[in-house]
Chains A and B, each alone.
Chain A
């Protein structure tokens, strides 16, 4: 029997290893490229006026996006106020009251599916049920659209985190005569605090950079958000509008807004990741 030489196989192996390292470097390279571009262009646009004042007229220079920053913050907050409690309770029901039932399996499945529904479809839905009947775009509708994106994420993390709490803890609380609801809120939530917080932060990070669900709900506005019942300024739709405009000053402002969004979203992501790691 003749032996085949080993070197062609080893050469192929080495080539694949090098290629895999290059692919990983390519991925990281794109990440670095995007971040670099946003930070460089964005930093040039940032100053105190930019953060605190109203936008300039079309084509004019100066002015800022204070209203959009406030609007984005308000609607993200609204998304939390609506989305987090409903998501938490839904997760509690799945983990504590209906484990193993067909109802729980269905809801869990649909929550997973809901996370994959394009956010623009959620925007379309909220447009149809809130904007059309009321006859005008509103910050409330924007907040609700974002809340619908927060909801499944929080529900799924809550369920997973509660399922990780040791049963002994649950049983000892119940054995002491505590009702199930109090055991859940006082004992189980406390035990899984870091995990729940991670879920909420990740959901907020995802939602605060969303544009598509706001296009048909909050729309945008050049004014301060005095009430949430009219079109409400926000950073992401502003980026869209300004980037597509022919005015260099507006395009510059779009980079500034991108800077704020990227730093905010990545900071939230990194913080929530660090929380997860500490828990492990």
Chain B
């Protein structure tokens, strides 16, 4: 069949295809660009401080002497606290949603937990700063000091803001992400496996501990990795409650800073080129770390999905 337009339809198809290709390729360009641009903009700082930047605790804008250690310490400390709280809690909530609650209850509860993920970071910051931090200062932290006595971990004045409060807020923020993954993993366990356990007379908890968790362990690890990636790069909520102080203290009550909070606080004030470059290098470190975590998590989860697809 010949059409009056001649080759026009082919041209349109070619154009559309080329445009779609360009848009897909744009994702690659941005990801490569992120790395190249951050690396380029941190060259001043890299030249000047070398690898020592990673473990130097200095942060002196007046003398142009910078190191990432305090920011890395705060990031790691608050993330560890968050994961220690959020992982077990997520597991138990997922257990409730899949095994314990009747479906009619599980659905709205699940929805509510997912809404926690929809609340913007800055709102967690407002709540953390004006509601949680005062509560920590007047009630929680003094009580902890009373119970644990003179441990250096709980030393210092209870100010409310600090590493511990940042960790708590972070825990709440990553909870819905881990819960969602674990819930899906629990729901994927073949009913036959569980029924075999119940047939032997096991209780719900025994089946969960010995069958479901064993079967879904890999998925749980993937979920934990996703949560970890979120926690490490979380910015605004942490900036509100961590205290923004360049120091490394043994106490959980002490104020500190994270990579993201340092960027949020100081970037627009940085006037010296070296200062700016040091901040960009902090960003580069954060980018590389989250990139590695994300890549591992994605590889892990896609491999799992493929395995699940081939067995079912």
CA distance A41 to B127 in the complex (A): 11
Residue of B nearest to A85 (CB): B23
For B220, the chain A residues whose CB sits under 8 A away are none
In the complex, B37 has a CB within 8 A of chain A: yes
Per the 8 Å Cβ criterion, residues 125-175 of A in contact with B are 125, 127-129, 132, 148, 151-152, 155
A-contacting residues, B258-309, CB 8 Å: 260, 263-264, 267-268, 280, 283, 286-287, 290-291, 293-295, 297-298, 302
The reply to whether B268 and A216 form a contact with Cβ atoms under 8 Å apart is: yes
Q: How far is the CB of A208 from chain B (nearest CB, A)?
A: 8
Query: Residues of B contacting A215 with CB < 8 Å?
Result: 264, 267-268
Contact between B298 and A24, CB atoms less than 8 A apart: no
- Asked if residues A21 and B101 are in contact (CB atoms below 8 Å), the reply is yes
Judge whether B264 and A27 touch: CB under 8 Å. Answer: no
Answer whether residue A1 sits at the interface, using C-beta atoms and an 8 A cutoff: no
Partner of B38, one of A125, A152, A261: A125
Find out whether the CB atom of A9 lies under 8 angstroms from the CB atom of B12: no
Chain A interfacial residues counted at CB < 8 A: 87
Q: Which A158-213 residues have a C-beta within 8 angstroms of B?
A: 177, 179-181, 184, 205, 209-212
Q: In the complex, which residue of chain A has the Cβ closest to the Cβ of B98?
A: A20
Q: When the two chains form their complex, are residues A261 and B229 in contact, meaning their CB atoms are under 8 A apart?
A: no
A120 touches B17 (CB 8 A): no
Q: How far is the CA of A261 from the CA of B294 in the complex (A)?
A: 28
Determine if B83 is an interface residue (Cβ-Cβ < 8 Å): no
Number of interface residues of B (CB under 8 A): 88
Please name all residues of chain A whose beta carbon is closer than 8 Å to the beta carbon of B144 when the two chains form the complex. none
Decide yes or no whether B112 CB sits under 8 A from chain A: yes
Query: In the docked arrangement, what's the CA distance between A104 and B27, Å?
Result: 11
B240 close to A (CB within 8 Å): yes
How many A-B residue contacts, CB cutoff 8 Å? 259
B-contact bits for A78-107, CB 8 A (1 contact / 0 none): 000000011111101110111000011011
CB A279 to nearest CB in B, in angstroms, measures 16
Interchain CA distance A269-B111 in the complex, whole Å: 11
Alpha-carbon gap, A87 to B22, bound state (A)? 11
| Bound: A96/B13 CA distance, A | 13
Is A246 part of the binding interface, using a Cβ–Cβ cutoff of 8 Å?
Answer: no
CB-defined contacts of A10 to chain B, threshold 8 Å: 203
| In the complex with contacts A90-B24, A114-B30, A9-B96 CB distance below 8 A | no
- Residues of chain B within 8 A (CB-CB) of A57 are none
Find chain B residues with CB under 8 A from A116 CB: 226, 229-230, 233, 290, 293-294, 297
Q: Mark B99-126, 1 if CB is under 8 A from A, else 0.
A: 0110000000101110110111111111
Chain B 219-257, CB within 8 Å of chain A: the 1/0 string? Answer: 000000010011011111001100000000000000000
Residues of A within 8 A of B23 (CB): 85-90, 93, 155
Q: Is A232 an interface residue, CB under 8 A from the partner?
A: no
Instruction: Select the residue from A124, A155, A181, A265 with max chain B CB neighbours within 10 A.
Output: A124
Contact B235 A118 (CB under 8 A): yes
Q: Which residue of A lies closest to B96 (CB)?
A: A20
Q: Of all chain B residues, which has the CB nearest A117? A: B290
Interface string of B60-93 (1 = CB under 8 A from A): 0000000000000000000000000000010011
CB distance from B65 to the nearest CB of A (A): 22
- Interface assignment of A219: CB less than 8 Å from any CB of chain B: yes
Instruction: Pull 20 A–B residue pairs with CB atoms less than 8 Å apart, ordered by A.
Output: A24-B109, A27-B93, A27-B116, A31-B119, A89-B23, A90-B26, A97-B20, A113-B298, A118-B286, A120-B263, A120-B264, A151-B30, A179-B12, A211-B122, A212-B236, A212-B260, A219-B268, A236-B122, A239-B122, A243-B125
Q: Name B residues whose Cβ lies closer than 8 Å to a Cβ of A.
A: 1, 9-10, 12-13, 16-17, 19-28, 30-31, 33-34, 37-38, 40-41, 89, 92-93, 95-97, 100-101, 109, 111-113, 115-116, 118-127, 129-131, 172, 175-176, 179, 203-206, 208, 226, 229-230, 232-236, 239-240, 260, 263-264, 267-268, 280, 283, 286-287, 290-291, 293-295, 297-298, 302
Given contacts A125-B34, A128-B40, 5 further A-B contacts (CB under 8 A): A38-B126, A116-B233, A124-B263, A128-B37, A258-B123
- A contact set with B: CB distance below 8 Å: 9-10, 12-13, 16-17, 19-21, 23-24, 26-28, 30-31, 33-34, 37-38, 41, 85-90, 92-94, 96-98, 103-104, 106-107, 109-114, 116-122, 124-125, 127-129, 132, 148, 151-152, 155, 177, 179-181, 184, 205, 209-212, 215-216, 219, 236, 239-240, 243, 251, 254-255, 258, 261-262, 265-266, 269, 273
